[in-house]
């Protein structure tokens, strides 16, 4: 895994098992450390949660990693930062990844703060040519510093951005395809985020997925979201009746998202599919049940050549 990123334009390999995985959350760690191994093909953790010098949390993950394929999913690279990436953070991540040797690493098309601040949220980017240049440089920097190929995830968005007159918006699928072509990165397709954005920003899910560069996808995410009414805040001109979808990863995957996943898999063949559940974490059996459903969809599609 210490090889450099592949040259731009080469076909990214899928590094994780083409099966269902789950996000590993603290309440479930004892079950994974116990004698009976939970039946799931791979697990994913948030990289930054394990950026600690030592202690029981990191030791537990190292023990679990010996038995399971591992994906390290970052939330803090801030690939959209105009000011560039934090060299110390990259060095810390490199140390963690060299220790854990994950099968796959990833982060988001987002920014998380500027000027030496981390805001603990994945913030929206104006999708312009300027931003594309910034993100492409940052991805190349990250892949070099981390010594690994990165998957970049499509974001979930709540707020429409209005570009100044004369500045052209690049559609998100095209923007991501450009990043793949320029940096050799792969993509992480979060189907739930597509549903959330389509509702919040008012675009068509089918058209978005038709344009998405699926050949670059090395992993898929599904998760639950919640509906929130912000009617008192939002005026009568509010799109979508003032109801906002929040991707809180705090409930079961919706039927809409499962259907879209099946549609994507029919086009791609089996890919690694992760069920994320971060808030109000349920008993492990519930999460494994969701993963089993994802696996049943995976079992229903034939491998593609």
Partner 1 sequence: MLEAFQQQMQRALLAAGGGEGGVDLAPGAVAGARLKIYRANVQQSLAEALAAAFPVTLRLMGVPAFRAAALDFVRAHPPARPQLAAYGGGFPVALAPLDTGAADMARLEWAVMEAYFAADAPVLTVEQLAAFPPGDYARLRFVAHPAARVLWLGHDVLPLWRQAQEDETWVPPAPDAVDGEVLVLRPADGIVCVSLPPGAAAAIQSLLNGDMLTQAAEAGLLVEPELDLQAMLHTLLAQGALAGARL
Residues lying near partner 1 in the complex (CB under 8 A): 48-49, 51-57, 59, 75-76, 80-83, 86, 88-89, 92, 111-121, 123, 125-126, 128, 130-131, 134, 158-164, 167, 200, 230, 233-235, 237-239, 242, 244, 246
Q: Cα–Cα–Cα angle for 141, 134, 214, nearest 5°? A: 80
Paired residues of 186 in beta bridges? 151
Which lies closer to partner 1 via its Cβ, residue 183 or residue 200?
A: 200
Which lies closer to partner 1 via its Cβ, residue 161 or residue 292?
A: 161
Which lies closer to partner 1 via its Cβ, residue 62 or residue 215?
A: 62
**End-to-end CA gap in the chain:** 25
Q: The tokens of 25 are what?
A: 């959350």
Q: Closest distance between partner 1 and the C-beta of residue 88, in Å?
A: 7
Q: Closest distance between partner 1 and the C-beta of residue 240, in Å?
A: 9
Which lies closer to partner 1 via its Cβ, residue 246 or residue 262?
A: 246
| Sole residue written with tokens 């639950």 | 224
Q: Which of 159, 173, 280 is nearest to 230 (CA)?
A: 159
Dist. CA 92–CA 73, nearest whole Å: 14
CA distances from 295 to 22, 271, 273, 276 (A): 11, 10, 8, 14
Q: Closest distance between partner 1 and the C-beta of residue 56, in Å?
A: 5
| Sole residue written with tokens 């509010």 | 238
Q: Closest distance between partner 1 and the C-beta of residue 229, in Å?
A: 11
Which lies closer to partner 1 via its Cβ, residue 117 or residue 302?
A: 117
Judged by DSSP in three states, 29 sits in helix
What is the sign of the dihedral through the CA atoms of 244, 286, 273 and 209?
Answer: negative
Dist. CA 218–CA 239, nearest whole Å: 33
Q: Closest distance between partner 1 and the C-beta of residue 12, in Å?
A: 25
| The residue count for the chain | 305
Q: Closest distance between partner 1 and the C-beta of residue 201, in Å?
A: 10
Which lies closer to partner 1 via its Cβ, residue 4 or residue 167?
A: 167
């Amino acid at each position: 895994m210490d090889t450099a990123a592949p040259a731009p334009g080469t076909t990214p390999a899928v590094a994780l098992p083409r099966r269902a995985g789950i996000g590993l959350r603290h309440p479930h760690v004892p079950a994974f450390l116990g004698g009976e191994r939970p039946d799931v093909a791979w697990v994913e953790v948030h990289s930054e949660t394990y950026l600690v010098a030592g202690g029981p949390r990191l030791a537990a993950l190292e023990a679990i990693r010996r038995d399971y394929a591992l994906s390290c999913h970052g939330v803090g690279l801030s690939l959209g930062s105009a000011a560039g990436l934090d060299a110390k953070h990259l060095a810390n991540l490199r140390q963690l990844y060299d220790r854990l040797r994950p099968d796959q690493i990833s982060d988001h098309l987002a920014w998380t703060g500027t000027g030496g601040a981390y805001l603990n949220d994945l913030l929206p980017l104006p999708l312009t040519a300027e931003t594309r240049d910034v993100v492409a440089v940052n991805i190349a920097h990250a892949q070099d510093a981390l010594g690994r190929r990165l998957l970049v995830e499509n974001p979930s968005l709540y707020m429409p951005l209005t570009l100044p007159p004369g500045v052209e918006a690049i559609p998100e699928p095209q923007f991501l395809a450009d990043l793949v072509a320029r940096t050799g990165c792969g993509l992480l397709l979060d189907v739930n985020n597509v549903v959330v954005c389509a509702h919040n920003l008012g675009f068509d899910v089918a058209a978005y997925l038709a344009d998405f560069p699926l050949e670059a996808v090395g992993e898929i995410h599904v998760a639950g979201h919640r509906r929130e009414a912000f009617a008192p805040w939002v005026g009568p001109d509010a799109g979508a009746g003032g109801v906002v979808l929040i991707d809180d990863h705090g409930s079961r995957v919706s039927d809409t998202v499962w259907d879209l996943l099946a549609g994507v898999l029919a086009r791609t063949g089996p890919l690694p599919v992760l069920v994320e559940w971060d808030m109000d974490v349920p008993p492990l059996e519930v999460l494994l049940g969701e993963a089993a459903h994802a696996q049943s969809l995976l079992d229903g599609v034939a491998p593609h050549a």
